[in-house]
Amino acid sequence: MKRAYRFIVSVIVVLIALSSLLVGKGFLEIFISRKFDSWLSNQSQFYTSQMSDETKETFVSVVRSYAQTHKMILITKKTESITEGPRILTVGVLSSPGSEANSFDSFDILGTQVINRQKINELLGHSPESYLGYGMDTNNKVSDLPYVLGSVYFKLDQITPGYNLGNSCAVLGLSPEEFDELANQISVATGLHKEKFITNYSGSAVEIGLFYYVAGVTFIILSISFCLLTYYNSLQELKKLGVHVMLGWSKSDYVVHHYFFYCALAAVLLPLAFMWTMVNCSGFDITGSFLLFTFTSAMPSILVVVVSVLISAAPLLTIRPVDAILGRLSQKGLYVLTAIIYALCCVVVFAGSTYMDAPITMYSNLLSTQENWSVYKDWYIVRNHVSQGNFFNGRPMDKSKELFDWYKTHEHDTGVYIAHVNQIGEPTLNAYEVNSSILKPFDVLIASPSYLKEIGVALTDEQVKKAENGTRIYLVPSSYSEEQKCLLRELVARSDKIFESDIVTPYMQNPSSEFIEYDASGGFFTWSTNIDSPSISTNVVIKVVTSNNMVPTESESLVATGLDNSYIKLSPEAAANLLDSSGVVELSDDGFGTQFSSIESFIKDYRKSLQELFLLFGVVIVLMFAAITVIQISMISIVQRLHERKIAVECMLGFGIYKQYINIFLVVNLIALVGTLCMIVIGSTLGIIMGCLMLLISNLTISISANRSTMRIVLENLSKE
């Protein structure tokens, strides 16, 4: 085996191992996050996701007061993410004076107790500002906690005044009667019904990051390439095997000798995986679970090497000595193997195409939006939410009151608007049991008086005053019949319901509504991002909203982000007056804020992220098409190697390329055609395009490659005669 070949094989195997280990790291991140979410779920819980910051302060104060007379510990959990970086899993502790955590389930990862009663007791023995684990304040840092490098970090600190609680708090040390007593005290102090904070109304899901998906695709591509490389190399060894058999070697001895290098590479992967895990899982004990994770992460790459060796060694072990000497090999096995590998490559292409259909549709809608929204390109919308300068990883809905209060303060400022359109289709009408054959689908424009004034909808001073005093004002197109208006009132009564919320408006305390006719013939901008939806509509019902007449579905939706969902709109002048240099308005003392972005900038950044995704997909597709091309050329080489003389004779007799290589044409076209038909059934436009492109490129590749190599075979055979 040549040195260059060994070097290439070694590099590919190392890359396969690294991609496998990266995927394993991604799954470990998900496992840790999910286990963290479920940790202490068997304990009595208070759920704070529905509490405002002020209510949380009251909650902590009541618990702290109760803890003065009862031995207890309160533990809260929260997950934060540094922008495009690792997760920070934080555990906050509030304890009775002198109390110790003596009985609760420790938080174990890979057999290591990341957080246990000893570490909590260690924390409680220091000042309230002290902490363990992740953090930059070395003066208050007590000790380190285990972490997964660049992925998951842990922090253990104490709940102090102003502490940002997580969505739940576990209570340890109280009897059921004491827990119920504490819950009643919290209910009295906060004004919330007890069920509001002892029942979980929220949830979360953790998904593997895009980086790990890339590692997975890389693993697949490299694995297929490695299998092809080893198999093609085994074909080159046929005649060498024949020579060694003539010299007295057994086939198994030769195979062991030839593939010893591969086996050595596979054996090296386990120590490599162990070193990788040691570096990435800092502070973890070397336990059985730790070693099992290491072995599991390395196993895919080891299996790739082993399976590739078995596949490539099969022809050498099964061939007859005479055939080996003459370089003859069974066609059937070759065709089946190459067809399987080719089919796998095609599956990757078609699966990737199906996945990319949604981003392509989004990109098309984005281009349409950019054109249709050009008049408002300098206006600002809610982009996302931040916490102390980093992306806010909690539930924005928990912070809806902060943004509502900010809007209430500034709703009369020049250039501050609410403008949002909901499309009421047949499914919605049917869901609310409204006759859709009479009241046809329509658009609902939720708009502030300031926005309506901006677009030229005339409201009287009396109507505006009523809306600002808490009356719901609905503007109904004058073209509606009395029956349609009646159905609209029924729909409004069922959809704009009042339910318990931290945000209470005068309308919710004293509901009253008015329906007023208006001329909708001029049409209104629909703020639609769907290329199939019109940008101007004349069938629009307008809800005139103010901070005093909102229902919870509107007031709590002010935190919604993005082109489709953002309610709050700011003119450039208002943005300049209200936002800082990064487009952020700070809403609370704990560092929570909302970031606004101009529509033009938002679309530009969104387009850029989609273009990066397309580039990544393009690279993967190019690599897969390259692998497919190599497979097709390998198929031709195999056929020519097995039937060299027959091909030369047929070519001189005038046989065409298609007839000489009919098996290859059939395999390639059949697989591509089946894939294309599947894409047609699924409805994947990109998949259909890729299928047609695959058919075209494959047939061209086979025809050109076969023509050139066949002429070479003819000339070589003529020279031998």
pLDDT (tens digit per residue) in 598-655: 999 888 888 887 887 788 778 777 877 877 777 777 777 777 666 666 776 667 767 7
Res 206 pLDDT > 70: no
Boundary of a domain, candidates 198, 220, 238 = 198
How large is the average pLDDT for residues 26-52? 86
- pLDDT recorded at residue 173: 86
Asked if residue 234 belongs to a domain, the reply is no
- pLDDT recorded at residue 21: 93
Number of independent structural domains in the chain: 3
> Are both 482 and 615 inside the same structural domain?
no
pLDDT (tens digit per residue) in 487-499: 988 888 888 878 7
DSSP calls for 150-208: TTEEEEEEE--TT----SEEEEES--HHHHHHHHHHHHHHH---HHHHHS---------
Boundary of a domain, candidates 138, 166, 198 = 198
The string over 405-440, giving b where at least 16 C-beta atoms fall within 10 Å of a residue's C-beta and e elsewhere, is ebbbebbeeebbbbbbbbebeeeebeebebebeebe
The verdict on pTM exceeding 0.85 is no
Write out the H or E segment, with its range, that includes residue 391: strand 390-391
Residue type for 496, please?
Answer: D
> Are both 420 and 503 inside the same structural domain?
yes
Which residues, other chains included, contact 73 with Cβ-Cβ below 8 Å and sequence gap of 6+? 93, 94, 95, 96, 99, 101, 104, 120, 171, 172, 173
Asked if residue 271 belongs to a domain, the reply is no
3-state secondary structure 670-720: HHHHHHHHHHHHHCCHHHHHHHHHHHHHHHHHHHHHHHHHHHHHHHHHHHH
Res 661 pLDDT > 90: no
Asked if residue 339 belongs to a domain, the reply is no
> Are both 60 and 182 inside the same structural domain?
yes
Residue type for 176, please?
Answer: P
The torsion angles phi and psi of 568, rounded to 5 degrees, stand at -80, 130
Cα angle: 620, vertex 622, 623; to 5 degrees: 65
- pLDDT recorded at residue 374: 86
Asked if residue 184 belongs to a domain, the reply is yes
Res 442 pLDDT > 80: yes
How large is the average pLDDT for residues 289-308? 93
> Are both 33 and 163 inside the same structural domain?
yes
CA distances (Å), origin 546, targets 48, 84, 91, 466 = 28, 37, 39, 10
- pLDDT recorded at residue 86: 79
* Band of residue 304 on the pLDDT scale cut at 50, 70, 90: very high
Res 721 pLDDT > 60: no
Write out the H or E segment, with its range, that includes residue 445: strand 442-447
> Are both 671 and 525 inside the same structural domain?
no
> Are both 364 and 409 inside the same structural domain?
no
Res 388 pLDDT > 80: no
- pLDDT recorded at residue 362: 83
pLDDT (tens digit per residue) in 259-294: 888 889 899 999 999 999 999 999 999 999 999 999
- pLDDT recorded at residue 630: 74
Boundary of a domain, candidates 543, 570, 597 = 570
Tokens of residue 265, six digits: 């590479």
> Are both 443 and 527 inside the same structural domain?
yes
> Are both 399 and 369 inside the same structural domain?
no
* Band of residue 473 on the pLDDT scale cut at 50, 70, 90: very high
Domain encompassing residue 454: 380-570
> Are both 359 and 408 inside the same structural domain?
no
Residue whose C-alpha is closest to residue 700's, from 669, 675, 678: 669
pLDDT (tens digit per residue) in 247-268: 777 777 787 888 888 889 899 9
DSSP secondary structure letter of residue 75: E
Q: What is the distance between the alpha carbons of residues 582 and 118, in angstroms, rounded to a whole number? A: 43
CA distances (Å), origin 233, targets 239, 263, 624 = 12, 16, 21
> Are both 619 and 553 inside the same structural domain?
no
Res 560 pLDDT > 70: yes
pLDDT (tens digit per residue) in 216-254: 878 887 887 788 778 777 776 776 777 777 777 777 778
> Are both 50 and 190 inside the same structural domain?
yes
Asked if residue 124 belongs to a domain, the reply is yes
Q: What is the distance between the alpha carbons of residues 182 and 278, in angstroms, rounded to a whole number? A: 45
> Are both 353 and 486 inside the same structural domain?
no
**Mean pLDDT, the chain, whole residue set:** 83
Residue whose C-alpha is closest to residue 72's, from 178, 184, 146: 178
pLDDT (tens digit per residue) in 103-148: 678 899 999 999 988 898 889 888 888 999 988 777 888 899 999 9
Q: What is the distance between the alpha carbons of residues 209 and 231, in angstroms, rounded to a whole number? A: 34
* Band of residue 706 on the pLDDT scale cut at 50, 70, 90: confident
